[in-house]
Structure 1
Amino acid sequence: MTRQISPHGLEKLKQWEGLKTKAYKDSGGVWTIGYGHTAMAGSPVPYQGQVITAAEAESILLKDLVQYEAAIENNVKVKLNDNQFAALVSFVYNIPLASFKKSKLLKKLNAGNFNAVPTELMKWTKAGGKKIQGLVNRRRAEGYLWMEGAFVTSKDVVPEQNTVHPVLKPEVIGPVISAASGLTGFATGSGPFQWALAVVIVIGVAIGSFYFLKRFREAEL
């Protein structure tokens, strides 16, 4: 049985296509109806004045998707997770299948370059030779779907519990507090010893402040 797009992926595709129950011409001048259905996908052939119900639009979409799901399954040679599969189904649903089969995207993906897919998707944003903002938005969204859930934590790995902000750890603020506390003694005396102590305190505060700020910046990244 041909692999099917996930419910999550299907909802995303429907959102990107948008539902139109009355036939219209898309940005390329092609008669379209339902969820982006055109004659390229098969029957019914959209025509001016055609009107369908939302249920009919869903039925047409599910029928159309079969060939695009099969195209991904038959042409992609690497293993895909559900979101990656859905992103590619959405992509080929929106372009000619022949173009997908000859695309650099497919070539790079089959070579194992998964990271190249979002960038390659962004090269398919034109219709009739003109860049279409709607396609730019869709390709970006498909790229996000491709990356969604790509990095997961193993069920055997317990996430680190970090309840103390790194900046507040003793080893970070200790030098600063210790150095600052010496200022009390310095303020109550004078002479060579106090001057020597002052130099040590200044150096200590400077070093402590440096590491404090360094850890703070690292913690905020």
Structure 2
Amino acid sequence: MATTSEKGIATLDLLEGVVLKAYRDAVGRWTIGSGLTKASGVIDPKPGMVISRKESDRLTRLALARNYEPAVNKAMPGASQNEFDAGSLFQWNTGAIGRASWVRVWRNQVKDWGLIGSKMRAWNKGGGKVLPGLTRRRQIEFDILRFGIYPVTKPNAPATGLARIVVSIEPARIATIRAAFAKLGYEPGKDPSGISRNAVKTFQRDHDLTVDGVIGKATLSTLQRMIDARAKAAAPAATAVAAGGFEAAPMPDGSIEALSGLPHADWIVPAVLVLALGWAAWRAWQYRDAIAVKAQNRFPQIAAKLRSI
């Protein structure tokens, strides 16, 4: 049975980022190491959990052996080492190597690399939208698959005063990250090529992350989560009700009063309010770590409790 090479694992670490303190990913799942959640079956990350780099590497290899490499061996029999590595990276990210059409084309005796590449690059969407990060990842995987070219795994040294970035990010995304920090009240600095190290450290301190001034998966996931929390908190109550299954058409002035003319109007308004409040409460629970940031200065014990559950 083939296994992922050292270069393949180093690329996985670069793409996923190695985080030694548990954090919530963008959708709220506790995560640690190279993107390991409870679903990995090798660890159950908990609030405050810290592991060593050696342990992270052991868990990554264990997860590969248990959950990913068997599927790659089955789907890509006779793969060369670089081809197997590309398959492992793809499987780690998508879990779909058994049904990916590029794999079926790869299994042909005469390989059509142009078709393989186009079908592989098509796996770049999330929520129905093309994601630049996935577009870049698929290109990296194809370069490994076709040419055996692995990305440079040692990040370049940043300019003085800028945070070091330890995950693979396309340069065009820097502007988006800078805008996100600024929107949350963390001044990213004047240099458009990066983000102020001091701003990153302050953000990490406020959000109970490892305070090292390094931008990795935990910092980026938390940044995205806080942006999402702010956007959803700003949504009008009508939108919240709509998510529960009702149409959220804007209501004209006096429309609440106008409901009083409807049959059984005595229960309509309270029911709508209860639904809106229930939705708001569910959102607050979903983003309780964002509430903890707001509460930590005045209510540190409450903030700590919110982060622990």
- State the TM-score bracket (shorter-chain normalisation): 0.5 to 0.7
What amino acid sits opposite 1:122 in the alignment? R
Deviation at 1:88, TM superposition (A): 0.7
> Judging changes above 3 Å, is the alpha-carbon distance between structure 1 residues 32 and 133 closer, same or farther for their aligned structure 2 residues?
farther
In 1, Cα distance between equivalents of 2:45 and 2:79? 33
Deviations 1:139-183 (A, max 9, x none): 111111112249xxxxxxxxxxxxxxxxxxxxxxxxxxxxxxxxx
> Judging changes above 3 Å, is the alpha-carbon distance between structure 1 residues 132 and 149 closer, same or farther for their aligned structure 2 residues?
closer
SS of residue in 2 equivalent to 1:85: helix
In 2, Cα distance between equivalents of 1:104 and 1:3? 22
In 2, Cα distance between equivalents of 1:48 and 1:122? 36
Is residue 105 from structure 1 mapped to residue 102 from structure 2 by the alignment? yes
Task: Report how many aligned residue pairs link the two structures.
Answer: 146
TM-score relative to the length of structure 2? 0.43
- The answer to whether the 8 A contact 1:23-1:31 is kept is yes
TM-score relative to the length of structure 1? 0.58
In 2, Cα distance between equivalents of 1:144 and 1:12? 12
Q: Which residue of 2 aligns with 1:20?
A: 19
The share of aligned pairs that are identical, in percent, is 29
Deviation at 1:55, TM superposition (A): 1.3
Structure 2: which 5+ residue stretches go unaligned? 150-309
Q: Which residue of 2 aligns with 1:8?
A: 7
The aligned runs of 1:1-221 (5 Å cut-off) are 2-66=1-65, 67-77=67-77, 79-96=78-95, 99-112=96-109, 113=111, 115=113, 116-149=115-148
In 2, Cα distance between equivalents of 1:50 and 1:114? 46
Bigger shift: 28-37 or 61-70? 28-37
- The answer to whether the 8 A contact 1:28-1:127 is kept is no
SS of residue in 2 equivalent to 1:94: helix
Q: Which residue of 2 aligns with 1:195?
A: none
- The answer to whether the 8 A contact 2:12-2:89 is kept is yes
- The answer to whether the 8 A contact 2:20-2:33 is kept is yes
Q: Which residue of 2 aligns with 1:170?
A: none
In 1, Cα distance between equivalents of 2:84 and 2:112? 12
Deviation at 1:136, TM superposition (A): 1.8
Structure 1: which 5+ residue stretches go unaligned? 151-221
SS of residue in 2 equivalent to 1:145: helix
Q: Which runs of 4+ in 1 moved over 4 A?
A: none
- The answer to whether the 8 A contact 2:42-2:62 is kept is no
Deviation at 1:48, TM superposition (A): 3.4
Deviations 1:169-201 (A, max 9, x none): xxxxxxxxxxxxxxxxxxxxxxxxxxxxxxxxx
> Judging changes above 3 Å, is the alpha-carbon distance between structure 1 residues 23 and 118 closer, same or farther for their aligned structure 2 residues?
farther
Q: Which residue of 1 aligns with 2:195?
A: none
> Judging changes above 3 Å, is the alpha-carbon distance between structure 1 residues 19 and 48 closer, same or farther for their aligned structure 2 residues?
same
> Judging changes above 3 Å, is the alpha-carbon distance between structure 1 residues 149 and 44 closer, same or farther for their aligned structure 2 residues?
closer
What amino acid sits opposite 2:50 in the alignment? V
Deviation at 1:28, TM superposition (A): 4.9
SS of residue in 2 equivalent to 1:100: coil
What amino acid sits opposite 2:100 in the alignment? S
**CA-atom RMSD in angstroms:** 2.2
What amino acid sits opposite 1:110 in the alignment? R
| Structure whose alpha-carbon radius of gyration is higher | 1
Bigger shift: 4-13 or 53-62? 4-13
